[in-house]
Structure 1
């Protein structure tokens, strides 16, 4: 499997600049917040979201260099993503993320919530300073979507009646909205046509959905070491994802186990076994494949370039993580 970072060759230098800038953007007026930010941005991470912004910037600015506004948009995108992770970890009570201690496990819940709020506020301030109302609207919508997705997930816990459409809507809010809207915003800063901007939005939307579906499949097929959390932990917390929803149509007893919230000994293990025995994981793979293919079709409208090829490869990489 190709590591994600090898897809970023056209923007490798840009990502190094981004890593330096992120810590400076937070500033050191607040020592605890600065320490939290340094921990977050120093933890590495794949930087997939800002890399997509920078690749789109380069793929739509073939005759000239990308602007400082493109770079700032990539930084804002990573700040919004990081802020959402800090809040997610508080909600999920996660002690570790990708093998690194979470902010709330190091600094406590209060600081973690405030650090997340601070990063959202900081990203909004830098966003306003881009002086582009359309871009401000797109990224402000993302911040609303992130909260809406988290609330929707909380309200739908252990609800076996939710449809695949409801699941995809929640996945859009939680994951795809940021990729879709920042992709479109990068195109707008390059002065692309409204039609091209819409294709960029749809590229990000379908890529983000494929990404989330693949992540949800990992909850059933990966190891504790790879996931950084126990296998089946989404299911245990009542978060019903694509493999579960497909399996429910095939294994009626799964509904009984979920609706009693795995209250009896062995319930969770039995539920995991039923999902493995069903076509649920395979159907979820096909759904991820469908969205990755749509993403590729939308990005193909851009003229050929190394950056466009990297964006196509990104869709293939999302799927290759399954094999």
Structure 2
């Protein structure tokens, strides 16, 4: 994934854009979403060898989509730092940051539309729409427990669910396997976001949910893939869930 990001920076073709990408991706994060793509594909592993390059490109596209959403989130939330450095909006201003985020969205959509069947592009487009709706609902306020769950599902859990779903589809998983991994991803994302909100001291999380809720979603995630054939990939998915709950 780092190689793909470095290629994006070096091959942008426009110095000003390369500078923005180089700055943003010099601390590129955990690559959690590509990891979910790869592990979900491995958990069904019907065609993994033949589809390895496509898996990398799918993970890359979803990482770019996530990065674009982070850039725009920082603008909306007026955040000044991310990953130990100034945010793009703090470093270059809101106008440039908005446009930089837009270019990352365009790269993500270009990859999915050029390399994958239409189904993939539609899933990514639907995901982007639902992420925006969740942000709108959060901005409107008047949060309660139910609305909090709906927001984090739209902002985070649907994304992790899509990563697992598309990874399983690309690897040739059965309908049952795809459904199991999609459910794993959804519950993984819910648990992860609740835990992350607690760590950050998010007032809505502290008011409406507890870490018991996060642990319940974590348990549901692991149960969702209990019926899959045993493999190192299935084990790694469960271990990743445990790790995200304990860091």
TM-score normalized by the length of structure 1: 0.72
Quote the offset at 1:64 in angstroms: 4.8
Say if 1:172 and 1:208, in contact at 8 Å, map to a contact too. yes
- Please point out which of 36, 61, 65 is paired with 1:52: 36
Partner of 1:311: 237
The 1:115–1:64 alpha-carbon spacing in structure 2 relative to 1, beyond 3 Å, is closer
**Which of 237, 245, 251 is the matching residue for 2:208?**
245
Please, which of 18, 25, 49 is the counterpart of residue 8 of structure 2?
Answer: 25
Contact 2:44/2:168, CA 8 A, preserved across alignment:
yes
Separation in 2, partners of 1:39, 1:300: 41
Find the counterpart in structure 1 of residue 222 from structure 2: 296
User: What is the CA–CA distance in structure 1 between the aligned matches of 2:45 and 2:176, rounded to whole Å?
Assistant: 16
Q: Determine the C-alpha separation between the residues in 2 that align with 1:134 and 1:192.
A: 15
Deviation of the 1:52 alpha carbon: 1.2
Map of 2:178 onto structure 1? 197
Change in Cα spacing, 1:193 to 1:127, as seen in structure 2 (3 Å) is same
Shift of 1:303: 1.5
* Partner Cα distance (2:246, 2:123) in 1: 30
Q: Residues 47 and 172 of structure 2 are in contact (CA less than 8 Å); yes or no, is this contact kept in structure 1?
A: no
The answer on whether the counterparts of 2:47 and 2:171 sit within 8 Å (CA) in structure 1 is no
Give the Cα–Cα distance (whole angstroms) in 2 for the partners of residues 62 and 190 of structure 1.
Answer: 6
RMSD across aligned positions (CA): 1.6
- Max Rg structure: 1
Q: SS state of the match for residue 115, structure 2? A: coil
Contact kept, 8 Å, 2:46 with 2:171, in 1: the verdict is no
Kindly indicate whether the alpha-carbon contact (under 8 Å) linking 2:190 and 2:214 is maintained by their aligned counterparts in 1.
yes
Deviation at 1:41, TM superposition (A): 2.0
Q: Which residue of 2 is the match for residue 253 of structure 1?
A: none
Asked if the contact 2:41–2:48 (Cα under 8 Å) also holds between the matched residues in 1, the reply is no
Contact 2:46/2:173 (8 A) holds in 1: no
> Aligned pairs, how many?
245
1:100 and 2:78 matched: no
How many Å apart are 1:114 and its aligned residue? 0.3
SS in 2 for 1:304: coil
Structure 1 stretches of 5 or more lacking a match?
A: 1-17, 221-233, 247-283
Structure 2: gaps spanning 5 or more residues: none
| Contact 2:187/2:217, CA 8 A, preserved across alignment | yes
* CA distance in 2 between partners of 1:94 and 1:176 (Å): 22
Is the 1:56–1:307 contact (alpha carbons within 8 Å) kept by the matching residues of 2?
A: yes
The aligned runs of 1:90-129 (5 Å cut-off) are 90-129=75-114
